[in-house]
Amino acid sequence: MRKLFVFQLVMFACLNCFSQNNNFISLWPQKVPGEPKEKRDPVFVQSNDNVLRISEVTNPVMEIFMPEKVVADCPAVIVCPGGGYSILAYDLEGTEIASWLNKLGYVAFILQYRVPDKQEGALQDLQRAVRLVRKNAKTWNVDPEKVGVIGFSAGASLCTRASTLFGKKTYIPVDKADSLSCKPTFTMLIYPAYLDLGKDHTLTPELTLSKDLPPFFIFQTVDDPYGNSSLVMAKALRDAKLPVEFHFLPHGGHGYGVRKGNPAAKAWPILAETWLVENAPVLK
């Protein structure tokens, strides 16, 4: 009973923060495109595995995490938690990732994209998020030319879609922000899923590769049930002579974020930090 009471207090605090905290930026000022439900606060669900989940999003927002010391023209990273397009693993693949990015000096934005089962809405949300970060870059000391994305599992699928389908108009423009590019400057895929939905487990058909794609960082493990996704994506990028760094470790499974006790969770942030320094360095 005590654990349930504590959980309820946390949920109450979370719900209050959405209406009071200026760190939350609503993506859509009026009606959310294609969303049949009215806007409301996200729905949190109780968990027994130490993961804070959001089970429904009808009012997509970004939560802003600023590093302790903000430098001018800082790169920004939009974080897309996973959850099978059904839920968002909000702390495991959201707030904990933003904290890691802040320690490296990056401005982080956690995207609460639409769930459950709203893949087209999720793509609209990420496209809009990239544009909003660029439009408000000065407010957050962000370099508008260095707005990247990082995703986990289904969130990595979403990041891949945004990084390959940036020429696709998915919604009617809302304001001046929508005149800006929605193409991420760099893309990081951590244990991606759903990238091999083509015939015989080949590249998912909607993913269109062109010479204009951003550089990719891909990390996964052999024992991940979705491991073929990274193999297929890395091969497709290589065959197209597009920039990609790919790491495929033996053990780790799926859904570990940066939590201690998992070899993959220990390895990928070190490799990713080196890649970020090369592709989107924070200028001291």
Confirm if 47 and 83 have CB atoms less than 8 A apart: no
Question: Nearest 5°: phi and psi at 173?
Answer: -55, 140
The helix/strand/coil state of 164 is: helix
Token pair 């859509």 is found at 28
Does position 13 have pLDDT exceeding 50, yes or no?
no
Residues in CB range of 54: below 8 A, 6 or more apart: 42, 43, 44, 45, 87, 88, 90, 112, 115
d(Cα 81, Cα 24) in Å, to the nearest integer?
16
* Greatest Cα-to-Cα distance within the chain, rounded to the nearest angstrom: 57
Confidence band for 8, pLDDT divided at 50, 70 and 90? very low
- Residue 194: closest CA among 104, 119, 103, 98: 119
Residue 27: exposure state from Cβ atoms within 10 A (0-12, 13-18, ≥19):
buried
Q: Poorest-confidence range of 8-22, 33-47, 115-129, 207-221?
A: 8-22
Average pLDDT of every residue of the chain: 93
- Residue 55 tokens read as 């089970």
- The neighbour count for residue 240, using CB atoms within 10 Å, is 12
**197: Cβ contacts below 8 Å, ≥ 6 apart:** 204, 205
Q: Which amino acid, residue 44?
A: F
**What residues does 140 pair with on adjacent strands?**
none
pLDDT digits (tens, 9 = 90+) for 67-88: 999 899 999 999 999 999 999 9
Identify the residue whose tokens are 């990041």: 159
Residues facing residue 107 across a β-bridge:
76
Alpha-carbon distance of 102 to 9, in angstroms, equals 27
Please write the tens of the pLDDT for every residue from 127-160.
999 999 999 999 999 999 999 999 999 999 999 9
Structural domains present in the chain: 2-279 (3.40.50.1820)
Model confidence at 1, in pLDDT bands (50, 70, 90)?
very low
Give percent of the chain with pLDDT exceeding 90: 89
Instruction: State yes or no: pLDDT of 21 exceeds 60.
Output: no
Task: Match 């990082």 to its residue by tokens.
Answer: 150
Give CA 197 to chain center in angstroms: 20
pLDDT of residue 46: 75
pLDDT(105) > 70: yes
Q: How many CA atoms lie within 13 A of 92 on its CB side?
A: 22
